[in-house]
Amino acid sequence: MNKILPLFLLAILTTETNAQTTDFQLWNDTQLIISLRKNLSATIWIFGRFGEDAQTTTDARIGGLINKKINKYLTLSGGYLYRYANPTFRRPLYESRYLGIATLTLPLTTDNKWTLINRNMYQYEARYSRPNATVIRNRFWLKRKLDKLEPFVAFESFYDIRLRGFARYRTQAGCSYSFNPKLSADFYYVRQDETGNRPGTLNGVGTSLRVYF
């Protein structure tokens, strides 16, 4: 298993020489995770993304989730996000997102040091002045626990039901760090490839902060 992570990292960080990079972005999000009772929690989620070579706000979101841990393998979540976006740097867009999520966590070794996580997200996007969309997102993480440090790689596909095709692919590589039982964070590289009528590629770096209450 110790040889798997470097191979995944190499696959993610190696890109075709003819790929055109359209933008460099800085991503960050903060999650405030509030325990309600046993196996039930609420998450307040705040996003900020800066594009056009990290000069302009290209995406801002705020919302929340309710999370129910069914057993040690399965967690179900439902929630809402309000989104402001300016992906073309010309005209701002607004939308409401309604989310349904099922997350599977599968230990790959008996010592729980290797873990595979699969998040399946149903995302309905009410886009106001534009056609609404329904997107099925499927994300896989592979994680390796090393004390407080946890390197990971991830791949996510976005299937647009209205367009009947995959609209986006996203790959990430980075590490998680646990500062204490109440605070942890992810630090990562991200590459995102758009398809369809607005093809393009972005590369970026990001952070994801989690605060537990």
Number of domains forming the structure of the chain: 1
Residue 82 has pLDDT above 80, yes or no: yes
24 part of a folded domain: no
**Average pLDDT value for the chain:** 89
Work out the pLDDT band at 16, boundaries 50, 70, 90: very low
pLDDT at 86: 83
Work out the pLDDT band at 208, boundaries 50, 70, 90: very high
126 part of a folded domain: yes
Work out the pLDDT band at 14, boundaries 50, 70, 90: very low
Residue 22 CA, chain-centre distance (Å), reads 20
Residue 12 has pLDDT above 50, yes or no: no
Judge whether 134 and 123 are in contact, CB under 8 Å.
Answer: yes
In terms of residue numbers, what domain contains 203? 4-13+35-212
157 part of a folded domain: yes
pLDDT tens digits for 154-178?
Answer: 999 999 999 899 999 999 999 999 9
20 part of a folded domain: no
Please tell me the pTM assigned to this model: 0.85
Residue with tokens 């110790």: 2
18 part of a folded domain: no
pLDDT at 182: 96
- The CATH number of residue 126's host domain is 2.40.160
30 part of a folded domain: no
Q: What is the DSSP string of 47-99?
A: EEEEETTTTEEEEEEEEEEEEEE-SSSEEEEEEEEEEEE-TTSSS-EEEEEEE
Residue 8 has pLDDT above 60, yes or no: no
